């Protein structure tokens, strides 16, 4: 029988004289124009600027809830040329007609950026309640730390950077330049290969011709390129995938988050694998939370996972051994699921001995805490806490279990893990829980934070995410069939 609960701890049993309760909800901070920030990319082609811009945008919007959008000048240019790939001579400064088109693309991108940040599109901002004091202010609601726009272009000369600052001046926003420098030939080759994978190039050129065209294009930019050196600007220099990072005149919380993120970023596109634990006893009983062990079916999955990892995680597509890491939560069901994975040693190219899949446990990866509802079924929650059950159905993302956690809490808890995952240069397998993997999946797949509760993370399945310039490629592998009467749809957070 369930242990009796203290009535004082039951939310519905507490009646305080509190006509003006503090309400937890989405960010509703009044932001001024100076809270907003524009990040202007700087760098030669094929340096990874677009990859970094998109990763940075997702990080800011996902973990801080600030509106963030990338304005890629290359995409604006494609619209002007009907989506057709342009030869390298198109980027020659002496090509007056092409130069006019490139300037037009830049103007269009900056105009859209300014319109977006000025909050002229109602759908981009939350509106203050009618007749509220906020209506009488010149401020507007744009997230806890203001809005962020990323202007993704080469911005290769001092004149162009001065032009950009002049165009952005009416916004009143802070501007930070982010210069991406890359002299590593392997990284350049990988970035060129990513360019070739785009439709506009595949239809016209081979991979070899693409590399030659891009190198010729780079040559035209190098003729006029001026590295960032303006002392009056705020800027960050990101060299060779984070080997060296320089900060100049950088102020403010959000700008410091840029630097923090870049410190853990690298350009190596290694895959990440996600797996839920095998079916647990609480899954079988329909209970949420807890720290139960695996069922017989869960043990079957643990064995199947270990065999699959040997072939698919520890080896690359050519069958060569690659260094790989293993992370679990501190709860029994994830550690039991991963316990059959072998930890053999391999010798890395630099002569270092690497222990494959050495297990590392993180409390940050523990399942969302259900507080007073921990270990209950949803039927029991509806019976004992009807108000809580109704609140959860009304807003699953913002809902916080009594004395427990919400998805917004999870996002804050998982930010350090996102940094660690971005920092890791080896293939990674994360064995964790449904709500945890929903958050991590939504982050890496570029989804809005509010979409976390709707992400499908089924049992007996490994999800592989491979980073690309455009985002992540997703593959799903079902290791065990859904056996009737044996594998049930578990309780969902």
The catalytic residues are 152, 182, 277, 367
**Half-sphere CA count of 135, side-chain side, radius 13 A:** 5
Site of tokens 């004289």: 17
Tokens encoding 356: 């494959």
Tokens encoding 303: 């064995």
How far is the C-alpha of 159 from the C-alpha of 155, rounded, in Å?
A: 9
Closest among 409, 38, 43 to 254, alpha carbons compared? 38
Helices 185-196 and 207-222, interaxial angle, to 10°? 120
- 105 class by beta-carbon count within 10 Å (0-12 exposed, 13-18 middle, 19+ buried): buried
End-to-end CA distance of the chain: 24
Helices 96-117 and 73-80, interaxial angle, to 10°? 120
Per-residue burial over 390-409, b = 16 or more CB atoms within 10 Å of its CB, e = otherwise: ebbeeebbbbbbbebbbbbe
Residues contacting residue 284 through CB under 8 Å, at least 6 positions apart: 295, 488, 490
Closest among 355, 14, 52 to 179, alpha carbons compared? 52
How far is the C-alpha of 40 from the C-alpha of 52, rounded, in Å?
A: 12
Site of tokens 């996102």: 418
How far is the C-alpha of 436 from the C-alpha of 366, rounded, in Å?
A: 7
Indicate the DSSP class of residue 155.
-
Tokens encoding 355: 């222990």
Strand partners, 428: 272, 325
Which three-class secondary structure state does DSSP give residue 412? helix
Distances (CA, A) of 2 to 50, 292, 376, 379, 387: 55, 16, 9, 14, 21
Which three-class secondary structure state does DSSP give residue 274? strand
Return the number of other C-beta atoms located less than 10 Å from residue 360's C-beta: 11
Closest among 125, 116, 120 to 149, alpha carbons compared? 116
């Amino acid at each position: 029988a369930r242990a009796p609960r203290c009535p004082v701890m039951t939310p519905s049993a507490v009646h305080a004289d509190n006509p003006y309760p503090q309400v937890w909800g989405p960010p509703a901070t009044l932001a001024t124009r100076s809270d907003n920030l524009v990040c202007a990319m700087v760098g030669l082609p094929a340096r990874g600027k677009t990859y970094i811009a998109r990763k940075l945008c997702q990080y800011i919007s996902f973990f801080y809830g600030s509106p963030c959008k990338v304005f890629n000048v290359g995409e604006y240019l494609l619209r002007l040329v009907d989506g057709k790939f342009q030869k390298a001579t198109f980027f020659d400064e002496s090509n007056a007609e092409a130069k006019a088109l490139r300037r037009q693309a830049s103007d269009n991108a900056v105009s859209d950026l300014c319109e977006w940040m000025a909050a002229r599109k109602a759908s981009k901002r939350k509106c203050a309640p009618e007749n509220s004091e906020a209506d009488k202010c010149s401020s507007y609601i744009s997230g806890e730390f203001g809005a962020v726009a990323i202007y993704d272009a080469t911005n290769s000369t001092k004149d162009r950077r001065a032009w950009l600052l002049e165009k952005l001046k009416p916004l009143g926003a802070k501007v930070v330049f982010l210069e991406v420098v890359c002299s590593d030939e392997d990284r350049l080759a990988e970035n060129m290969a990513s360019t070739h994978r785009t439709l506009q190039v595949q239809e016209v050129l081979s991979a070899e011709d693409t590399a030659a065209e891009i190198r010729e294009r780079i040559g035209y930019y190098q003729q006029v390129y001026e590295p960032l050196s303006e002392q009056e600007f705020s800027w960050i220099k990101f060299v060779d995938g984070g080997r060296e990072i320089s900060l100049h005149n950088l102020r403010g919380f959000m700008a410091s988050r840029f630097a923090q993120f870049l410190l853990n970023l690298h350009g190596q596109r290694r895959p990440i694998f996600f797996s839920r634990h095998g079916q647990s006893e609480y899954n079988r009983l329909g209970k949420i939370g807890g720290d139960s062990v695996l069922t017989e079916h869960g043990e079957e999955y643990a064995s199947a996972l270990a065999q699959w990892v040997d072939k698919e995680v520890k080896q690359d597509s050519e069958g060569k051994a690659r260094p790989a890491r293993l992370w679990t939560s501190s709860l029994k069901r994830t550690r039991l699921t991963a316990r059959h994975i072998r930890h053999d040693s391999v010798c890395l190219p630099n002569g270092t001995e690497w222990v494959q899949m050495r297990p590392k446990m993180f409390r940050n990866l523990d399942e969302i805490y259900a507080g007073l509802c921990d270990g209950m079924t949803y039927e029991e929650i509806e019976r004992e806490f009807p108000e809580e059950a109704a609140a959860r159905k009304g807003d699953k993302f913002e809902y916080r279990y009594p004395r427990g956690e919400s998805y917004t809490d999870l996002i804050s808890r998982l930010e350090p893990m996102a940094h660690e995952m971005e920092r890791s240069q080896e293939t990674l397998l994360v064995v964790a829980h449904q709500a945890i993997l929903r958050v991590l999946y939504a982050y890496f797949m570029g989804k809005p934070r509010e979409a976390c509760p709707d992400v499908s993370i089924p049992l007996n399945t490994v999800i592989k995410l491979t980073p690309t310039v455009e985002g992540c490629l997703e593959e799903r592998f079902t290791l065990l069939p859904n056996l009737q009467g044996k594998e049930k749809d578990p309780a969902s957070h």
